[in-house]
Chain A
Amino acid sequence: MSRRENPIDRRFRELVAKGEHALIGYIVAGYPDEHTSIEVARAMIDGGVDILEIGIPFSDPIADGPTIQRASYKALSKGITPRKALEIARSIRGSYDVPLVAMTYFNIVYRQGVDRFIPLAKDNGIDGLIVPDLTYEEADDVIRIAHIHDMDLIFLVAPNTSDERLNRVASVSKGFLYLVSVYGTTGERDIFYEYTLDAIRRTKGLIMGRVPLAVGFGISKKEHARVMINAGADAIVVGSAFINIIEKSNGSRDIMLKGIRELAHELKQATRGLV
């Protein structure tokens, strides 16, 4: 069966052709509210985000730090549901040609039914799926169904993942492989340690070009982006730093959207090698 190139693969190919790396921006669907989360996404894309990651809130997000926990909790208390989150994706996809990746915990997928959730997500414009609590041992069914619907199932690895395991995970991860940069949860960090760069170099070496390498968790500054790209990252993922801008803007829409656009622009410059 010949299949069309998945939009994520195409985006990476285009960027490589331009000599650029990818900026992946993360929003929490429904935060600060449904409508504004779409505007936040637009501001990110206007600022230069190459791939948009849409978090579908879950009540118990164990891989997330306080910033994304607060945002998820607020979105849930305002009534966001997985279905509404996918409608947000559809609405963004309607006006922008940007690949979309959904990030959610496995119970959200499991509860709707893997064989229902994945085609529904695809129909709403989602090209890839990240499930931080789904390890590849538990993923047989999800891999099979994702493949049927041409959904890129994106797996995560960590600095303490063994070479052998990393190799196996890299061979099943589609779209990109997501390296968690640190020991810890999501959330802005001021400094990174040498072990993060070691992990990037080691992972990059083991992937051997099978799939692009994205690095995320804690990245908020162009300097971070730069050193990680220099160590071998093909993409960087930024989430909490954007959410912090929303929190700090105290409801002033213009300040918030401007701040988001500027941060995206600054980070995008770093992925172009212009910083």
Chain B
Amino acid sequence: MRLKHYPIDGKFGRFGGRYVPETLIPALEELERAYIDAREDKDFKRELDYYLKHYAGRPTQLYYARNLSNAIGGASIYLKREDLLHGGAHKINNTIGQALLAKRMGKERVIAETGAGQHGVATAMACAALGLKCEIYMGSKDAERQRLNVFRMELLGAKVNKVDSGSQTLKDAINEALRDWITNVKNTYYLLGSVVGPHPYPMMVRDFQSVIGREIRKQCMNMLGGMPDAIVACVGGGSNAMGTFHEFLDSKVDLYGVEAGGHGLASNTHSATLCAGSEGVLHGMLTYLLQDEHGQVMDTHSIAAGLDYPGVGPEHAYLKSIGRVKYVNATDDEAIDAFMSLAKYEGIIPALEPAHALAYTMKIAREYGKDSSIVVTISGRGDKDVEVVQRYLVERSTKR
């Protein structure tokens, strides 16, 4: 069985599945049928390609980070520049795809969750471009921390609903979006932002994001004359990583998923679900979770809001279980250092999420050695993070 062909019956090994209230089963079945139908339809593909090219700005470049590579003195590091996309992150690959699908299904209303606001903004953009009504659920703590993103979504025509339940962050925003969907199941499309949730979301979001890996493969053929030795991407829910890895699952390329180590795994304030979590069921899927001994889901921490999630996509859980992808982590500190390095050496300010992937890449570049090449996906740009980084640096300098 080729790894590319998963899921089988909605499962990646034992992971994934559909653990949802019965009301959502007909909606998920309808969604799966509609998606498979669209996937086979040339007109749908043509329309998707059109928007990805002319609206989102694909293909994105694969850039040889010469200065950074020389400074480290090891493998050649190549950056997959998803930060150059419209909206500044890979999220638009998925939101355009699903918004087109929602339209095709005749749904009048789109809902989505957002943590820091990246997926919310990308959903609002896609809905504005395609003329769909859009509501975004956002934890009230996140909305407070990311006030500008709330305004951005509103500018783009979305209604932002703040969620006061639970920990008032991303996981609660997903809970509330699921409750909305249960209530308005007939006319509403739930546009999930990562490779998480019940089947078919992990498969569908991965498929929409797998354009990243397909482009990397082609670009590597042109620039390197073959495959890279390793590919690295950050993992929160895991959509940019699944999109990056999927094309290479059945190859021999080393794959690394980098989770958010926060203050370090020993501190218990992190979001490294695959590195430190255990199996459980949340948001409709069987996967790895950060949970206590009783099965209550825990609060997580990362300096990168987009990695701050106590679950992870079930396909990642499967790839971990069979050892195909190595899941590692980088701390807040390491991510900040990588963020600074890329700005200094290449004039590129990455988002803090891919700064984690970059931090790990910089760690292994020397081990791989001069004759090898490593591709790292820069899933978004760092404009949103400059204030956080500034504050972090001030705090760090007073501590030292």
Contacts and interface: CB of A to CB of B under 8 A. Distances in A.
Interface of A: 58-63, 65-66, 69, 73, 76, 81-83, 105-112, 132-135, 137-138, 155-162, 165, 169, 180, 183-185
B183 A185 contact: yes
B321 interface: no
A76 B295 CA distance: 12
B297 A135 contact: no
A135 B294 contact: no
Interface stretch (B16-24, B31-39, B99-107): B16-24
A185 B182 contact: yes
Interface stretch (B86-94, B264-272, B279-287): B279-287
B165 A73 contact: yes
Interface in B181-199: 182-186
A216 to B, nearest CB: 12
Contacts of A134: 19
A42 to B, nearest CB: 26
Given A63-B182, A69-B165, A156 B281 contact: no
A86 to B, nearest CB: 12
Interface in B268-326: 278-284, 286, 289, 291, 293-297
Interface stretch (B70-78, B136-144, B171-179): B171-179
B181 to A, nearest CB: 10
Given A82-B294, A82-B295, A107-B295, A162 B18 contact: no
Closest 6 CB pairs of A and B: A111-B295, A158-B23, A184-B183, A59-B296, A107-B281, A158-B22
A138 B19 contact: yes
A185 B20 CA distance: 12
A179 to B, nearest CB: 9
B393 interface: no
Given A66-B165, A135-B20, A108 B185 contact: no
A155 B23 CA distance: 12
Given A183-B23, A183-B184, A183-B185, A138 B295 contact: no
A60 B22 contact: no
Contacts of B172: 60
B179 A65 contact: yes
A60 B18 contact: no
Contact of B280 (A62, A110, A156, A160): A110
A63 B21 contact: yes
A59 B297 contact: yes
B187 to A, nearest CB: 11
By CB atoms of chain A within 10 A, which of B21, B182, B289, B293 has the most? B21
Contacts of A132: 21-22
A193 to B, nearest CB: 13
A133 B183 contact: no
Contacts of A62: 20-21, 175, 178-179, 182, 283
B25 interface: yes
Given A63-B182, A73-B165, A138-B17, A58 B22 contact: no
B179 A160 contact: no
B131 interface: no
11 contacts: A58-B296, A60-B175, A62-B283, A63-B21, A107-B282, A137-B17, A157-B22, A161-B26, A162-B26, A183-B183, A185-B183
Contacts of B171: 60
Contact of A108 (B286, B289, B294): B294
A184 B281 contact: no
B369 interface: no
A80 B224 CA distance: 58
A156 B220 CA distance: 51
B166 interface: yes
Nearest to B280: A107
Given A180-B21, A184-B183, 20 more contacts: A60-B172, A60-B282, A60-B297, A61-B175, A63-B182, A66-B165, A110-B286, A112-B295, A132-B21, A135-B20, A135-B22, A155-B22, A158-B21, A161-B26, A165-B25, A180-B22, A180-B23, A183-B182, A183-B186, A185-B183
A26 B171 CA distance: 26
B281 A106 contact: yes
A111 B291 contact: yes
Given A183-B185, A185-B182, A110 B295 contact: yes
